Structures are given as structure tokens and as C-alpha cells.
Amino acid sequence: MDVQMAEKRVKDLQNLLNQYGYEYYVLDQPSVPDAEYDQLIRELIELEENYPQFRSPDSPTQRVGGAILEMFEKVEHRTPMLSLGNAFNEADLRDFDRKVRQAVGEDYAYVCELKIDGLAVTLSYENGYFVQGATRGDGTTGEDITENLKTIKSIPLRIKEPISIEVRGEAFMPRRSFEALNKAKEERGEEPFANPRNAAAGSLRQLDPKLAAKRNLDIFLYAVADLGGMDVTAHSEALDLLDRLGFKTNKERRKCATIDEVLAYIEAWVEMRPNLSYDIDGIVVKVDSLEQQQRLGFTAKSPRWAIAYKFPAEEVVTTLRDIELNIGRTGVVTPTAILDPVRVAGTTVQRATLHNEDLIREKDIKIGDRVVVKKAGDIIPEVVNVLADQRTGDELDFHMPTHCPECESELIRLDGEVALRCINPKCPAQIREGLIHFVSRNAMNIDGLGEKVISQLFSEHLIKDVADIYKLTEDQLLALERMGKKSVSNLLEAIEASKGNSLERLLFGLGIRHVGSKAARTLAQQFENLYALQKATREDLTAINEIGDKMADSIVSFFEMEEAKELIAELEAAGVNFDYKGPKPVSVESSDSFFAGKTIVLTGKLEQLTRNDAKERLEALGANVAGSVSKKTDLVIAGEDAGSKLDKAQSLGIEVWDEERLVQELKI
């Protein structure tokens, strides 16, 4: 094939596959079998590899995910992404309607749309090409997640007209994708996502776009933030425009002439909600006329021309079969209701928290009761109340035990606490939970050691404390269920890599009572070495601003225990790092650094430093590293491909350095 033929074939394939993708992912009307699509995409990949000059930004091959990012760039929204005011009942909606009528008169209409339960994003197109996508963030500043958004196949990389436009939508995870993702996580022994919304948000904040590409996300576009001069006078027209440009909008929307029609629409969807293939948590009601929207205006937080009706938490009835006790890593005994399986807010629920003994007494909960269950915030299952009138007399009272169900030590209730607690440091349940905490993301972050794997290792007596994690062998791991050679190799590599973590991760992972991740970092910065902290007195600790009496007592008590001393010796023998690797903080008052007290913005790609490294070094010298440029910015550090932040800095007359100048001033 000569170059001209290759160019034509590449262009033909790109156009054909983009059309097939639009039919499949936007219209839900596939015109070719999957096998034919897969064959054509393979051909295109091969051609683009051989003739990379013909690879275009809108090629379907560009959806597989780009390079791994160090962090997400901050994006300042040109038009704020405001949140909506909420309505919870008919009275709230009629009050909203009254205010609209008072402001614009009697001639107005509403557009009602399903409120998709996902992550709000904004998409920018220049000359028809997708150039940037960002999260809502705080409404003013979000995060650049362009590469992750490219992996959503219903987002067009090129729209049907060569215009510049900014649109907004809700990225979400369909229920089928959510169930498949959680099944895979559970098989790997990892904690499943609580709901599709969390899963979608977590997927779009993956630093490796290839991981986001595997999550099978989708999107509905619901607004045009910047019409770019398009002749549109109503919100309903803007949605029709999105359809014509090739975007995916939700077709369940309806234009309503009165608030009574709005209420009827809501009532219908309260019933039909479970039949959808994705989650919704309400209905959005918007004034249709853009001119009337402008007249109604905004409050400080939300538009006056729109409101979100929130569905009441779905409540279902089931039978409480048993109450199970769980012992946490701090020894707290938590009762959990075991229920007949029931579907609530899109997922099957078999367990619900009961918090503590006082709550069980207050709600008069008995084993065998018919109970009402809901998800608090549509996330955490809880027992709302008991249907006492349905009791048969066979129900059983529940009494909290006097001794730990795991180690049989006496349970105690500390002064000022409602929870019962096991204080035996050798309690198997506490040890197991402590191991799970040690390997968690904010602690030693050992990928592949999820809750199920830890429980399996513990029950097989392969680990009894955190030091044993560093003694695991390939043969021991291969003997476990569902552990193949590749996964074992990856796990051992992750364990080895964790030895090099900075001290604050180890401190947090040790699970010292009252020491959270922030306090662990403060302690690591102050003492720089674990042995120095181990020798610290109560007075040394309370002299640090963020360390109070309770935390100081807890730290001193921990390091006085013989078990702790033995554990530290074992960790040192295993080669675990005991030193703080981050920068030493410098107070603004005591620092003579040029950077002390200055607000600095980093933008563009840095070559000699990672973004995190530069940020930590500057903060250690007393600087405030901000995400966006404003009149309060003192200095901008601009790397390669610096964009709008550099332009804004120059327009405001703010001092700008390149990376070389920064490196010189930091004396690296």
C-alpha cells in the first residue's frame, strides 16, 4: 500500500468507525456486529502505527488512554459551575414556581430532566475538536481530566460542525458496568465501591487513563455553558442543538407548561426509576427561556431559574435475621444487622449498621423483626424503624455480650463513650483490622493486599503482625486460592516497593490511637526519624502545636509497649524505611526565604522536578501553592506548554519564572 492509499484508507476508517461509534454509544442503534467493528479498529491501529502522520485527534484509536499523569492540572472555569438549590416536596416546588411567576409573569415553561447520579464535567471544543474536559471542583476551579474523558466513547472527539463551544454533562457508570467492576474488585480481595456515583468519580480521577478506559463510563450532556454565538433562545433548543452536534443527551426530558405538569412528571419517575439502566437521584426543573433565565439571575451559590427535586430515600421492608458483632482495629464492638436480601436504591442489601447498643435499645430492635431499611444519603444501609405491629411473639431480644466474641476478653465502656471496646492488644480481630489498615491507600499503600487477601493470610497463620507481611514468600502466596504467578509477582513487588515509603506513611499505618494521616506527617516532619520519635517525651510532643494531651499520651504509651519495640525491630530488619523523605517545613515568620509568604502557581510541564516535588519544596519554604492565577498571585512558574494560566499572569502583570530559574533559586 503506497502513502496516498494509506492516507485515504486511514481517513475512511476513522470516519466509518466514528459513525459506528456514534450509532452504538449515542443512538444505541448499532448498525454492524461487534466482530466487524473490532476487525476494522485493529486495521486502523496497524495503519496508524505504520503511518503516524495520518493519526488525527478525533481518531477512535485515541480513546485507549494516554500516558500516566503525575497529578491533575487545575482548570479555572470561564463560566462558574454552580450547584442547584434543592426541593424535597411539593411545597418546595410550588414555592419555586411562585418566585418564577413573580419575576417573569404568567408566560413561561419548564424543562424537566432526570438528575443523573454521577460526576458533573465540562467539555470544551475548538473548531469542532475536543480540547479539554474538567471536573466541577468547587464550581470555580476544577481538575483537568481530558485524557480520562476521551475514554468515554459517547463523548465525540470531533463534533458535526467546526465550531467552538463549551458544554456540560454528567459522567456516570451504568449499573451493568458497576456490577462487573465490583465483582472483579471482590475477586481480587479489594473493597467494592459503595455505589455507581463513587465508582464513576474514582474512575475519572485515575492518574492512569488506561484504567479509566476499562471502567466503561457513559455521559449525558445537559447544558451549553458557552454557545459561541449560536442562535439559541431556549434551554430546550440548546438540548436539541447538542443532539444535532452529535452529543448524547437524555431523551427522557419533557417540556412542561405548568408546575402541575412538572409534579406529574416527577410522580411518574418515582415509580419508573428502578427500570433504568443507570442511577438517578432526582429531577432537575429549569425555566426554558434563556432570556427569562437571565432576568431571574443567580444567588451566590445557585441559579434562581432551576431547582433539583431530590427523591426521598427509598425505604423497603425486610426481616432482620441476626445481629453480628464486628471488632474494629481500635477494639470498638459494632453490631451489624443481618437482613433477608432486599434491593434498595439500586443495590442488593444484606447488612445494615446498628452503630451501638444504645441505638438497638432506642429503636427496640429484636432478632426476627420486620424492619424498614433505607440508605442514608443513598449510600449506607441503615435500619429506620421496627414494624412492631407485625411481631408474632417469636422475636428474640438482643443483648450485647460482656466478653469479646473473638478473644473472650472482658469488654469495657470507656468514660464518655457509648461504644463497648475490647482492650486486649492481642485480640485476633483487632490484629486483622490493623493489618488491613496498615496496607491501605493512605498508609503503606500495598496494591493487591485487599481485605480478603489479608483475612486469608491471617486465617492461614501466614501473618500475625505487620512485620510478617515483609516475610511472605512466593511459595506461600501461590498456595492461596485465586493467586496466580503474575499476581503473586506483582504483590511481592508492591510489598518491596512499600519499604521505601516516607516515615509518615509508616506512622499512620501503625495505627497509633488518635494519630491520623495529618498528625503522622506533622510528627514525621518534626522528628525526621522513627527512633527520634520513639524517644520523645510527653512534653516534647505537646510542645508541637497540632499535638494535644490525648495524642501525646497515646504515642508515649504505644512506644513503651514491649510488643511495639519488638515490631519496630522486625520492621527495621526487613529493610523498612524509618526516615522522613519529604521537605522540612519552615514557618513564614522564621524563614528568610524569598518564597516565604508568597502565593505561587505552577503551570505547564516541568522537566527537572515533578509537580509534587516542586510543590512540597515551595511549601516547605513557606510558600502557598495555589491552583489558579488571581490578583493575589505573587509568582507563576511556567513550564513547557503553559497555557491559560500563563496568559492570565501576563495580562495581570504577575512575575513569571521558567523552571530553570526555580531550580536555581531552590539551589537544587
Q: Select from 132, 127, 120 the least CA-distant residue to 645.
A: 132
Q: How far apart are CA 506 and CA 496, in angstroms?
A: 14
Which amino acid type is present at position 529?
N
Q: Select from 411, 449, 414 the least CA-distant residue to 432.
A: 449
Q: How far apart are CA 288 and CA 459, in angstroms?
A: 61
The set of cell numbers assigned to 550 is 490525648
H-assigned helices in 510-596: 517-527, 530-534, 538-542, 549-560, 562-573
Q: Select from 496, 450, 498, 456 the least CA-distant residue to 478.
A: 456
Q: How far apart are CA 513 and CA 196, in angstroms?
A: 33
Q: Which residues pair with 198 in a beta bridge?
A: none
Q: How far apart are CA 178 and CA 175, in angstroms?
A: 5
- From 74, 115, 150, 598, the catalytic residue: 115
Q: How far apart are CA 369 and CA 396, in angstroms?
A: 9
* Phi, psi dihedrals of residue 120, rounded to the nearest 5°: -70, 135
* Phi, psi dihedrals of residue 234, rounded to the nearest 5°: -140, 155
CA-CA-CA-CA dihedral for 535, 540, 544, 547, to nearest 10: 70
115 part of the active site: yes
Q: Select from 582, 573, 575 the least CA-distant residue to 610.
A: 582
E strands in 298-379: 306-310, 315-327, 333-344, 347-353, 370-376
- The set of catalytic residues is 115
